[in-house]
């Protein structure tokens, strides 16, 4: 079921409505990181890192602080991009899910209860904070596993897969299920959602292709929900 949802989601990436949302969400995500970089540049200007471990002084000038801000933003882009991107995509979740449902599950779209901007923002904020927390907890293990070559990447995929599987599933299920039904569905599909989250995280790891990961994950979650509720009804082309 998960691989079927994945293949259907790849096909949805060619939908003009999905592509438009992808462009907007990417622009907003990159603007957030640009803002973080500018803020870091101002924060580092005049900072004295040498004083942290010695009596020497080496205040950073504009060039050094700019380079430091760029370096920290680049590191943050790799580490925080999934969390920020998922948070941003939540603002567009209704539109993405509606586009997928209109194409494949029109009956589900007719009975959906849109999250609204506030509902999507709340779920997105919770998701971003949860992903950041999970990764901070796992950070020492990421560092320890660097010597293995692939251990850090595998742990990153596992940790974020669990988080994304829950958050994307919850965002989609909230459109169709009440709280009790949502909890039951999340419990019943724990394994499928973890695999879906791992696939989404795996796409996040790939350069350039990672830009597609948030929308791909949202589309996969939509298919997983509908296929699990109506396994006998094949989606429309």
pTM for this structure?
A: 0.78
- Whether residue 172 contacts residue 185, with contact meaning beta carbons closer than 8 Å, is answered with no
Q: Residue 204's pLDDT is what?
A: 82
pLDDT band at 206 (very low <50, low <70, confident <90, very high): confident
In this structure, what token pair is assigned to residue 17? 């409505």
* Angstrom distance (rounded) from CA 108 to CA 120: 19
Q: Residue 113's pLDDT is what?
A: 85
* Angstrom distance (rounded) from CA 167 to CA 105: 21
- Whether residue 134 contacts residue 159, with contact meaning beta carbons closer than 8 Å, is answered with yes
Q: Residue 50's pLDDT is what?
A: 57
Q: Residue 219's pLDDT is what?
A: 92
Q: Is the pLDDT of residue 234 over 60?
A: no
Phi, psi of 23 (to 5 degrees): -60, -45
Q: Residue 198's pLDDT is what?
A: 92
Average pLDDT, the chain: 81
What tens digit of pLDDT does each residue of 110-153 get?
Answer: 888 887 777 777 777 888 888 888 888 988 998 899 888 788 88
Domain-by-domain residue ranges, the chain? Answer: 2-25+80-229
What tens digit of pLDDT does each residue of 31-56 get?
Answer: 887 787 777 666 666 555 555 555 65
- Whether residue 212 contacts residue 22, with contact meaning beta carbons closer than 8 Å, is answered with yes
* Angstrom distance (rounded) from CA 40 to CA 16: 36
């Amino acid at each position: 079921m998960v691989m079927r949802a994945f293949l259907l989601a790849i096909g949805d990436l060619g939908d003009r409505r999905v592509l438009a949302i992808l462009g907007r969400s990417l622009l907003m995500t990159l603007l957030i990181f640009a803002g973080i970089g500018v803020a870091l540049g101002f924060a580092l200007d005049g900072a004295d890192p040498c004083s942290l471990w010695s009596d020497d002084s080496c205040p950073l000038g504009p060039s050094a602080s700019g380079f430091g801000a760029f370096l920290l933003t680049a590191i943050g882009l790799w580490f925080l991009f999934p969390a920020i991107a998922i948070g941003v995509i939540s603002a567009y979740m209704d539109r993405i899910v509606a586009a997928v449902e209109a194409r494949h599950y029109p009956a589900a779209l007719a009975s959906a209860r849109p999250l609204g901007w506030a509902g999507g923002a709340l779920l997105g904020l919770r998701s971003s904070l949860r992903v950041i927390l999970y990764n901070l907890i796992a950070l020492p293990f990421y560092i320890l596993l660097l010597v293995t070559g692939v251990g850090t990447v595998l742990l990153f995929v596992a940790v974020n897969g669990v988080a994304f599987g829950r958050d994307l599933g919850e965002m989609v299920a909230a459109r169709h299920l009440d709280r009790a039904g949502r909890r039951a569905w999340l419990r019943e599909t724990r394994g499928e959602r973890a695999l879906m989250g791992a696939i989404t995280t795996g796409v996040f790891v790939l350069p350039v292709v990672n830009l597609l990961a948030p929308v791909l994950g949202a589309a996969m979650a939509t298919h997983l929900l509908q296929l699990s509720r109506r396994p006998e009804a094949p989606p429309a082309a």
